[in-house]
Amino acid sequence: MGLQILLHDNGEGRFDLAQKFMRFSVCLFVLLPCLVFSQDISSFRKGNLFKKSAYLSLSYNGSYQSRDTAEVNSSGYLASFRGNLELFSIQIPIHLTFRTGRFTAGFSNPFVRFGMSPSYRWVKLHLGHRVIQFSNYSLNGITFLGAGVELTPGLFRFSGLYGTVKTPNYHLDSLAFYSHLIQDYRRSLYGMKLGFGKDRRHIDFHFLKTKDDYIANTDSLINRTIFPPAENLVLGAKGKFAFLQGFQFEVNADLSTLTNNQLAREDSLQDKRSRDIQKFVDPFMTTNNTTRANLAYDASLQYNHRFINVGIVFKHIDPNYRSFGMHYIQDDVEDITLRLGLRAWKNKLVLNTVSGWQKSNLNSIRRNTSKKTILSANAMVAPHKNFALQGSFSNFTMDQSPGIAQLNDTFRLVRNTAVLQLSPQLKFGSANWPQQLGLSYQQSELEDVSPLASGFGTGKVSHYSLNYNVQARALKASMSLGLLTGTEQFEQGEQRRSGANLSFSKNFEKPKLAFRAGGGYYRLIAGDLEDGNTLNFSLSCGYSINTSLSVNTSLAYLDKSSLVTPQFKDWRLSINLNYSLFQNKQYGSNPK
């Protein structure tokens, strides 16, 4: 069971802390009797009725950036309280967070959340902000605010939920278009899953219904045109069957009917499938000329053994397939893949491959059709305990989440579309002076998905590096040296850099102090022209004042003194204070 509360100030301080704390207290008071009833009371006999631990963290983050023509100075504060109360074997983790300022290193949105999931035998309740899984293409990974239940008596399987979710139109970022005009509306959600069987063999049927309703300003022109209310109904089935020795068959199928605008005209302009489905779902949802029905399904057959696993997977997702129970899905794609895994020589050789064919533009309505052979392979060979060779390649990705890439100009938000990596590693030296030498080659095809248009589009990045690491265990110190050369090819041109980086770390027993310092220098070339250089360094330090109190600081600097491309300077400072209120064997003196 978990309880979580997160408070976020968007810079204007617009929330009533007392009101939110009162709501939390009422919810806790009402739910506590139910939770006591649904817990094991064997702790009465042990006499260990109450345990507690708490952890407080205070942070400051600052950033100063300057370019050729602009300067940005931002800072932010973070206060976090994590605790755990245990009474009569009822564990209640608590997480309170207050954040202010624009400077953050993640992609999480501001929110206030609380939730509990008590369970007793085959009954599990969900109250507050929770996550329930139906299938890959219906309810998958989204957080709702409401109530749910999961029942698994014997071979019977039942799940049900009712609540609300945040709509994609909900913005707190002042840089978002129309953010000052957007009127958030309520997106209600309810669904049910009914099945039979256990984890290895089961079949489930489910439905999910979501609908947008205006909270205020119903007649606003922007709500009726740019951000109209939508409605979604998903019907699906999921099955898994294990048979013989090591064989497994799995299938997922969902039909999503989506009305993009409940206020649109009722005349029918849809495709034939949507018109046929509309006749069936019309009693259960709003249908009009914006209603579309799309399918998503996959099936797989696998064989798993101690030394080998092999399988085949077929997947089909219609163009414009959407479910309001998911954050994102790659649509308009069909592929068939063969999967092979090998383990030999006591796991000194490990090989996993995925190969097949992929096609887009399934309905032939787009200008271009993509047909390609897809391949993903990951191999590791370790013929000796001191030597290993790792390699991987993939020209398609199953994970659509973006990441941060540090390129020549600045930090950008990119998505990898193909990656090739090869890295042999050699270990040598003595027990007190272990050393490691590694080569690395990496080539990535990237897609720039930064929020602001940068003009980089798609491109290719190649890196060659030689890395050496040595540890002095008696001194509790280590040193690393890396040599790197890289090429970045984007639509605006080619850039190259070559240079080195050096880092050193040291731990002290008295006082308990740990620090790490590092820096690097790179020479830049833009096209065929010399483009100056980049210089960076970082320093981090952690000091444990006592078993309960510690301080961590970090400072980073990046200076691109270029001649052709834009110049850039970036200072980043972080200070973090951690205090443990109670000492506990379960959580230790420095919990994360």
Which tokens is 261 given?
């605008």
CB-based contact 192:207 (threshold 8 Å): yes
What does the angle CA 103 – CA 59 – CA 575 come to, to the nearest 5 degrees? 95
Residue 102: is its pLDDT beyond 80? Answer: no
**Poorest-confidence range of 32-41, 134-143, 169-178?**
32-41
**Domain residue extents for the chain:** 333-383
Residue 272 identity (one-letter amino acid)? K
Which tokens is 506 given?
């040291």
Q: Which residue has the higher pLDDT, 480 or 461?
A: 480
* Residues listed for the chain: 592
Nearest of 488, 489, 505 to residue 497 by alpha carbon: 488
Mean pLDDT of 394-400: 60
What pLDDT score was predicted for residue 444? 84
pLDDT tens per residue, range 533-592: 999 999 999 999 888 899 999 999 999 888 887 788 888 888 999 988 875 444 333 433
pLDDT tens per residue, range 270-284: 677 788 887 888 888
Q: Which residue has the higher pLDDT, 116 or 103?
A: 116
Residue 409: is its pLDDT beyond 80? Answer: no
Residue 184: is its pLDDT beyond 50? Answer: yes
* 3-state SS string for 380-413: EEEEECCEEEEEEEECCCCCCCCEEEECCCCEEE
What residues pair up with 278 in beta bridges, in sequence order?
Answer: none
Residue 399: is its pLDDT beyond 90? Answer: no
Mean pLDDT of 201-228: 76
Residue 373: is its pLDDT beyond 70? Answer: yes
The pLDDT-based confidence of 414 (bands split at 50, 70, 90) is low
CB-based contact 567:561 (threshold 8 Å): yes
Mean pLDDT for the chain overall: 79
